[in-house]
Amino acid sequence: MKKLKKLLVALGAVLIISIPAHASPLTLFFSNEDPQHMLNKQYKAYAVARTFTPGTIRRYRSRLVDTSRPLPKSIRLFIDTNIDWVIYARSIFGSNWDKLTAGQRRNFKSLLRKVHIKKYGKYFSPDAKFSARFNKPTGYKFFKGHELAKVPIIFVSHRRNVKFDIDFVFYKGAKRWALCDVYIDGVSHSKTYRSQVKRIYEKRGYDGVMKAFRRALDKS
């Protein structure tokens, strides 16, 4: 499978595992326990909903891709609690993050979130033919004083009859683990973005980066 297709399918899986798939989403917030356990629980909840209540997933999908309306509170709270958008945005901007004002950081984080939800939300579907295998233990490490956890998964796309590795990287905050990066076949999604953002920032500054992401939002 081509790298771009892997990226699209895999990041669709991020939303599948990070969005409530049943009527009681608040019970599946990530906590201080092994994040692999919570990923596995949410994946199983999605698998059940895909089989027995596919209409629920389709309704979630329609709200994700419709940027003209705010997300329902349950979805918004779940996504913003289980994904650390600040850490993710900072990783994408790299060393240039420190040059941004508080307002610029806030606006970029908000736009980044919108782009990802709309772009990959369309893959949140009961028709997605895939399975996830959690066959390795979570790896933990400290980096610059912060605890990180990497959850390795073998992702199998039954429609394309291929499998590839996805590593979900979590950052441990004060209350719980939260997703902050995704590695696909060993390549960090945030680092891939970082090289692109750095190139735009050096040529066109912050406004150029925001313009590029707004264009990506319109094309999604």
Look at residue 18 in the predicted model and tell me its pLDDT.
Answer: 53
Mean pLDDT for back-to-back runs of 10 residues, the chain (220 residues): 51 54 47 84 81 83 81 81 91 94 97 87 76 90 90 83 85 87 86 92 96 90
Count of beta carbons in the 10 Å neighbourhood of residue 104: 16
Using CA atoms, how far apart are residues 180 and 161, in angstroms rounded to an integer? 28
Q: Look at the pTM and tell me if it is higher than 0.85.
A: no
pLDDT at residue 89 in the model: 95
Q: How many domains does the chain have?
A: 1
Q: What is the CATH number of the domain that holds 13?
A: 3.10.450.710
Beta strands in 73-203 (DSSP E): 130-133, 139-143, 146-157, 162-172, 177-184, 187-188
pLDDT for 126 equals 76
Range of the domain at 180: 3-219
